[in-house]
Structure 1
Amino acid sequence: MDPVFVYGTLKRGQVNHHWLRGAAFLGRRRLGGACLYDLGPYPMAVPGDGLIHGELFAVDGPGLLRLDGLEDVPLLYQRHRRPLADGTLAWTYLGQAPQVAGRALVPFADWGSTPVFLSEPIAHQDPPLTVLAADRRTGVVQHLTPAELRRWERQGLQSLQVSGPGGENFLALAPTAP
């Protein structure tokens, strides 16, 4: 089994997740050294100075070859083995800078959800990630769908820089009221 980091339509709840049927979900992870761009129906990660959020799966050999077909390797994407923020080596699919020229970055580098800083964890399908906010508050980040995020819209939301357990820094939303 090979670890495969996915960040777009292969994530749980997304349109191509069925391609990972039978693959074991290993949790949320972060990939440094890449930026995530919005190409409309799907995102594309390219090498860069960013940090993107995604999910890790254990995929068998035939499953990896099926993913190569879906990702149109080597024409659209190239499969690379890259270290994740936690040190795990994983396969991921990357495009090249000319393919994303003029495209917008995916907000908060998280396709289909948003990292949200909370003082306490909420009941959620994913375990919370303990982080330190730039203002020195300790809390957790949980990745919320747009529907889940509506819970905090009335309180207002602001961007907040946080540091993860591996020292990686990224932006999250945070409710402005307790």
Structure 2
Amino acid sequence: MNQKNKILLFVYGTLLSGEPNHTLLNDARFMGKAMTQPCYELLDFGFFPTLVPEGHVSVCGEVYAVDEKTLQAIDQLEGHPHWYRRTVITLADGREVFTYIQPKEHAKKHPRIQSGDWRIR
């Protein structure tokens, strides 16, 4: 999770490159594309997705090495810990990273993104 005082962060929605909130990652280092293990659901909340545990989908995203200041700005955007919760997950390649998830009970009525990819929803 930590690469020379940087925190590895998996993003899967509006923080992805080319998406509206990506500017928060301007000072971050892109570490590559990644996928989660197939144990999540990606749900469509209209203008943004949410990741929930206890599913069967691998979610597509990107990993960035971020500093504490960037992480705090993203925590604020994501409403951590009241809306999203920053949580450690294990990616398909075995890396442990932080990401933002919501409890499944917050997301019951929203449509699933079957592909696990916010960009091709």
What's the TM-score, normalizing by structure 1?
0.62
- Alignment counterpart, residue 105 of structure 2, candidates 81, 98, 110: 98
Deviation string 1:121-160 (CA, Å, 9 cap, x unpaired) is: xxxxxxxxxxxxxxxxxxxxxxxxxxxxxxxxxxxxxxxx
The amino acid across from 2:41 in the alignment is: C
How many residues get paired? 114
Alignment of 1:26-175 (within 5 A): 26-32=31-37, 33-49=39-55, 50-113=57-120
Q: Does 1 or 2 have the higher relative contact order (CA < 8 Å, sep 6+)? A: 2
CA apart distance, 1:113: 3.4
Unmatched runs of 5 consecutive residues or more in structure 1: 115-178
The amino acid across from 2:47 in the alignment is: P
Partner of 1:119: none
Q: Does 1:3 align with 2:36?
A: no
Partner of 2:3: none
Unmatched runs of 5 consecutive residues or more in structure 2: 1-5
- Alignment counterpart, residue 22 of structure 2, candidates 17, 20, 40: 17
Q: CA RMSD in A?
A: 1.1
- Give 3-state SS (helix, strand or coil) of 2:23's partner: helix
- Give 3-state SS (helix, strand or coil) of 2:62's partner: strand
Give the whole-Å Cα distance in 2 for the aligned partners of 1:99 and 1:69: 19
| Percent of residue pairs identical | 34
Deviation string 1:25-74 (CA, Å, 9 cap, x unpaired) is: 11110112211000000000010232111110000111111111110011
Runs of 4+ deviating beyond 3 Å: none
CA apart distance, 1:107: 3.7
